[in-house]
Amino acid sequence: MNCMNYNIDDYLPILSNNNPKAKIKEIPDDFLVEEIDLNGDVLEIGKKYVFDNKKSGDFFIFVLEKNDIDTFMAIRSIAYKLGISKDKITVAGMKDKKAITAQKASAHKMKKEQFEKLIIPKIKIKPICYDDKVYLGALKGNRFTITIRNIDLTIKKTKEHLEKRNKELNGVFLNYYGEQRFGSSRPITHLMGKYLLTEDIKNAVKTYISYTNKNDTNEIKKNRENAFTDLETAKKRFPKSCVYELDMILHLIDNPGDFLGALRKIPRPLRKMFVSAYQSYIFNRALFELSNNNLIKNDTNVPVPGYLFESRIFSDDAEDMIENILKKEKIKPSMFKVQYMPEISSEGTKRKAYAKFKNFKIMDVTKDDLNNGKTKATIRFSLDKGAYATVFLRQFFNI
């Protein structure tokens, strides 16, 4: 199966501007993400925590620090080492892969001593206490410390540009979902979501296993594209890092034609994220059109469509735009109630058209040690949960 490559404008339609070009995430140390918990405390990277013996509960609470690994794989690695189900471990938020991040997590009916013995590459576990479960979304936001590289401006001009754009933005920016939502290296999560909503399970499985992008080597492209003509060979040639693809391939070898069973080899949170990504795609397209036509204000809320979207008496510009895009996509709101896989159903919600940023600070601007003749800048800022640092950075640079 030959899968086409998707341009970023397909799912993140931010207008190009006169901002200078730059690069982010050249190394994980360039992208630091520290979760801000519900109390407003920053879970600082490298911080030492004193375990609170006074608290009690059925869940072991800890700070999960990870380096260049995504949250799903970090949870999977911990669960594997402990010999437990990955469903026993929960986190407050999903964090970037190519980054160093700190976030709150919990483990049901587990003891601190079991975690203290773990040695897992790229992962650090810092015990906090025993308490109630950490639920997804139970955070205020994130603090980011990011180094932007390969800037083709002098140190002085870079500082001036950052200061100017910060002043122009005046604390807000358009609240697009970022590329991480769609897969930074393999932007297919929204495509997977549409396949699931339309019950095209076979193409969902094929896309997940066979999709290639321009950065893949010829060998990787060949292995992925030929996977369905020779599953046995694919089993041998796929790298072990392709955990879910290999799980699906092995299932299809043992159960030919059972594409739904193969799809269920992908963890439930990730399957649910496919639908969320498709909702995000619809939202981004709507926000782009609404912004271009001056139909939004700072307090405008735009629907993230789900099965409750059709239960409306009155509508506004944002809802009309969503409705028009869904019609073009040939998607009915009722399709977000997925009968064959209820756990990925979504009623929908609303999302602010503009996001706020706080505590913006230029930490340092100097010569770029990785790109000769270029400049790098390190900035720090905080965003509320759900807002994307990569989208914010695009207000300053063409990345």
- Closest to 393 measured CA to CA, from 6, 7, 11, 12: 12
CB atoms within 10 A of CB 248: 25
CA gap 106, 110 in Å, rounded: 9
Q: Which tokens go with 196?
A: 């699931």
Using an 8 Å Cβ cutoff, are 397 and 148 in contact? yes
pTM listed for this prediction:
0.89
How confident is the model at residue 5, as a pLDDT?
44
List, in sequence order, every beta strand (DSSP E) within the chain: 31-36, 59-67, 89-91, 100-108, 123-131, 141-151, 172-174, 301-304, 349-352, 354-367, 375-384
CA gap 26, 28 in Å, rounded: 7
Using an 8 Å Cβ cutoff, are 333 and 309 in contact? yes
CA gap 367, 154 in Å, rounded: 9
Given the residues 30, 70, 96, 368, select the one marked as catalytic.
96
CA gap 108, 57 in Å, rounded: 9
Region of 350 on the Ramachandran plot (φ > 0 left; ψ -120 to 50 alpha; else beta): beta
Q: Which tokens go with 198?
A: 């339309």
Judge residue 17's burial from the number of C-beta atoms within 10 Å of its C-beta, 0-12 exposed, 13-18 middle, 19 or more buried: exposed
Q: Which tokens go with 389?
A: 């640092």
CA gap 36, 156 in Å, rounded: 32
How confident is the model at residue 186, as a pLDDT?
83
DSSP bridge pairs for 361: 380
Which residues neighbour 209 within 8 Å (Cβ) at sequence distance 6 or greater?
Answer: 224, 227, 228, 234, 245, 248, 249
How confident is the model at residue 3, as a pLDDT?
39
CA gap 369, 362 in Å, rounded: 18
CA gap 276, 346 in Å, rounded: 8
CA gap 183, 177 in Å, rounded: 11
Dihedral sign, CA of 145, 149, 153, 154? positive
CATH class for the domain made up of 176-352: mainly alpha
CA gap 300, 323 in Å, rounded: 17
For the chain, the structural domain boundaries read 19-28+141-175+356-393, 48-131, 176-352
> pLDDT truncated to tens, each residue of the chain (399 aa)?
333 444 667 777 776 578 999 999 999 999 999 999 999 999 999 999 999 999 999 999 999 999 999 999 999 999 999 999 999 999 999 999 999 999 999 999 999 999 998 999 999 999 999 999 999 999 999 999 999 999 999 999 999 999 999 999 999 999 999 988 988 778 899 999 999 999 999 999 999 999 887 777 788 888 888 888 889 998 998 888 888 999 999 999 999 999 999 999 999 989 999 999 999 999 999 999 999 999 998 899 999 999 999 877 778 999 999 999 999 999 999 999 999 999 999 999 999 999 999 999 999 999 999 999 999 999 999 999 999 999 999 999 998
CB atoms within 10 A of CB 397: 22
> What kind of fold does domain 48-131 have according to CATH?
Alpha-Beta Plaits (3.30.70)
The structure tokens 């594997």 sit at 80
Rounded to the nearest 10 degrees, the angle between the axes of helix 201-210 and helix 189-197 is 170
Region of 373 on the Ramachandran plot (φ > 0 left; ψ -120 to 50 alpha; else beta): left
Active site residue 200: no
